[in-house]
Every structure is written in C-alpha cells, then in structure tokens.
Structure 1
Amino acid sequence: MMKVKDLMTSPVFSLKENDSLHNARSLMDLQRIRHIPIVTVDNVFSGLVTHRDILGATISRLAELDPETQKEIDSGIPIHEIMRTDITSVEDEMSLKDAAQILLNHKYGCLPVVHDGELAGILTEADFLRLTITLMDALDEKA
C-alpha cells in the first residue's frame, strides 16, 4: 500500500509566520507554486497561504499602483494576517488512497504533510497527476 510519504513533495518551500506578504508573493513567482505552508520557528505547521489568498490581499490593479509601491505595502503585511489556519493536514504514514479521498471530497488543492507535528512535505493535485501519468505509461508498456 502506498503512503503519503511515497508521493509527497519534500523538502517543501515554506515560510515563517512573521514573513511578509511580499516574501510569499516572491516565493510563489520564483518557484511557480500555488501553496505555501506556514510554520513556527520550530518548524511546526501552523497554516497555509494560497495563491488565491494572495490575490485577495492584493490591492486591485485598477488602483494603478506602481510595482514598487505594491512591494512596499506587501512588505508591511505579515503572512500570519492572511494565512488560513483551519487547514486539514495529514500524517506522512496515511494511505495515499485516504489522502486522495480527502482532496477529492473537500476539493482541496493540497494537503500539508506532518510528522510528529512538524512540516514534512506537501501533497498536491499535481503529485497525483504525475502518478496518474506514470501509471498510464506503465499500462501502455504492457499493451
């Protein structure tokens, strides 16, 4: 039986609670990711920031802010002010099928993965798509 730890992305890009909105926006842009787990200084999982959260905290382009002003505003907003804390996380030993069921039933884009309370990785829809492609390739080879 496959477990979450067999498919999760690890190590995972994360930020601390006091990092800024600017840090989150930059990390997402640089790494081309849509989810950032937030941890305490002891690496204990405490929340999640999504691309949608960042868009919601962004001043509309209609305000015609120049990028430097937007950066200045973002730098003054600690990530803990916009992060979600009511996030479902899973243990790394959970079965992959159970984790997939949680993603599907709740329409989540990701599941932060913890081990003894500490952030261990992240499981995303993209991880399952990669697995699906691998399985389809294996089926094609048998045919």
Structure 2
Amino acid sequence: MLTTRDLMTEDLIALRDTDSLLEAQKAMEQARIRHLPIIDAAGAFVGLLTHRDLLAASVSRLAEIDEATQDEIYAGIPINEVMRADVAMATPDLPLRQAAEVLLTQKYGCLPVVEGGKLVGILTASDFIRLCLDLMDALEASEQLECEDCQD
C-alpha cells in the first residue's frame, strides 16, 4: 500500500510565522509554488499560506497602487496575520488513497505532512498529477509490449 511518504515532497520551502508577506510572495514567485508551509521558531508546523491568501491580502489593482507601494504594505504584515492555522494535515503513514480523497472531496490544493508536530513534507495536487502521468506512461508501455507480443 502506498503512503503519503511515497509521494510527498520533502525538499521544502517553509517560512517562519514572523516573516513578512513580502518574503512569502518572493519565495512563492521564485520557487513557482502556490502553497507555503509556515513554521515557528522551534520548527513546528503552525499554518499554511496560499497564493489565494496573498491575493486576498493585497490592495486591489483598481486602487491604482503601484508595485513598490504594494511591496511596502506586504513588508509590514507578518505572515501569522494572514496564514491559515486550521489546516488539514497528513501523516507520512497515511494511505495515499485517503490523502487523495481528502484533497478531492475538500477541494484542497495540498496537505502539509506533519510528524511529531514537525513539518516533514507536503503533498500537493500536482504530486498526484505527476503520479497519474507516470502511471499512464507505464500503462501505455505495457499495452505496446502486449501489442508487439500479439504480432509475433
């Protein structure tokens, strides 16, 4: 049986709850990610900041605020004022099917993976798409082998 550990990303980008929204925005842009786990000074998982959370905290473009002013605003807001603390989490040993069902039925984009209060990974919808592509490639290769065997 596959578990969350088998698919989760362990090479994480995480910020502290006292870091600013500007630092979060830059980290998300540079890494091209939409979910940012948040930890406290002791390294314990305390919440999640999403791209949507950043958008909700931004000043509308209709207000004609330039990027520098928006950056100043973000620089003055600590992540803990915007992040979500009531986040569904997974353990590394959670069956992968259960994790997939949570993502699908709850319409979550990710599940932080926590063990003993510490962040050890993250499981995203993109991880499942990657798995699906790998499985399709394997299925197509298997079908091609069968087809070649039929022609012999």
Q: Place the TM-score, normalised by the shorter chain, in its bin.
A: over 0.9
Count of aligned positions: 143
Q: 1:36-67: per-residue Cα shift (whole Å, max 9, x none)?
A: 01111111111001100000000011121222
Q: Percent identity?
A: 50
* Matching of residue 93 in structure 1 with residue 93 in structure 2: yes
Show structure 1 runs of 5+ residues with no match.
Answer: none
Give every structure 1 segment of 4 or more consecutive aligned residues whose post-TM-superposition deviation is greater than 4 Å: none
Show structure 2 runs of 5+ residues with no match.
Answer: 144-152
Q: What is the CA distance between 1:11 and its match in structure 2?
A: 1.8
Partner of 1:45: 45
Partner of 1:64: 64
Partner of 1:113: 113
User: Normalised by the size of structure 2, how large is the TM-score?
Assistant: 0.92
* Matching of residue 124 in structure 1 with residue 124 in structure 2: yes
Matched residue of 1:123: which SS? strand
Give distance in 1, aligned partners of 2:69 and 2:57: 14
Partner of 2:84: 84
Give distance in 1, aligned partners of 2:90 and 2:6: 13
Q: 1:47-93: per-residue Cα shift (whole Å, max 9, x none)?
A: 00110000000001112122211111110000000000110111011
Give distance in 1, aligned partners of 2:63 and 2:114: 40
Give distance in 2, aligned partners of 1:61 and 1:20: 21
Partner of 1:142: 142
User: Normalised by the size of structure 1, how large is the TM-score?
Assistant: 0.97
Larger Rg: 2
